[in-house]
């Protein structure tokens, strides 16, 4: 009986391990519209209006990480919700995003807890 209880507890602990392993991170960089950035490297204040229109059209906003230049895909923690409305005001600006990464099948996204202007 004790072995069965221990085995059950062990299996349950592995089921919840991914939840416990999620580590909060802060990532700083510029908010860009993913399509224009990937296609032509568009970013900065001069691209703000276009990025906001792309966000309204459903193109995902993303973050170009300072130091690495890597594109960080962003998502809301809530299901069936885009982070675009929360990010749109920061298009073309540097921000710091706090959150946790989720990864599956080689794809990785940053689940947003908070967004604030960089350096604040």
Residue 32 maps to which CATH number?
2.40.50
What pTM was computed for the model? Answer: 0.81
Any domain includes 110: yes
Any domain includes 8: no
Any domain includes 10: no
Q: Are 32 and 61 in contact (CB under 8 A)?
A: yes
Question: How many domains does the structure of the chain reveal?
Answer: 1
Per-residue pLDDT tens listing for the chain (120 residues): 555 544 444 444 445 445 445 799 999 999 999 999 999 999 999 999 999 999 999 999 999 999 999 999 999 999 999 999 999 999 999 999 999 999 999 999 999 999 999 987
The token duo for 62 is 């993303």
Any domain includes 67: yes
Q: Which residue, chain included where needed, has tokens 């990937």? A: 38
Q: What are phi and psi of 26, to 5 degrees?
A: -125, 130
Domain with 112 in it: 23-117
Any domain includes 50: yes
Number of Cβ atoms within 10 Å of the Cβ of 9:
9
Any domain includes 83: yes
Any domain includes 2: no
């Amino acid at each position: 009986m004790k072995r069965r209880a221990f085995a059950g507890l062990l299996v349950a602990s592995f089921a919840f391990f991914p939840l416990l392993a999620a580590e909060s991170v802060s990532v700083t960089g510029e908010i860009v519209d993913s399509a224009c950035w990937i296609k032509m490297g568009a970013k900065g204040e001069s691209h703000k209006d276009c990025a906001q229109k792309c966000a309204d059209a459903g193109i995902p906003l993303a973050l170009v990480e300072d130091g690495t230049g890597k594109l960080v895909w962003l998502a809301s923690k809530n299901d069936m919700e885009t982070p675009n409305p929360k990010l749109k005001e920061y298009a073309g600006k540097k921000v710091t995003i706090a959150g946790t990464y989720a990864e599956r099948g080689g794809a990785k996204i940053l689940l947003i807890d908070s967004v604030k202007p960089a350096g604040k």
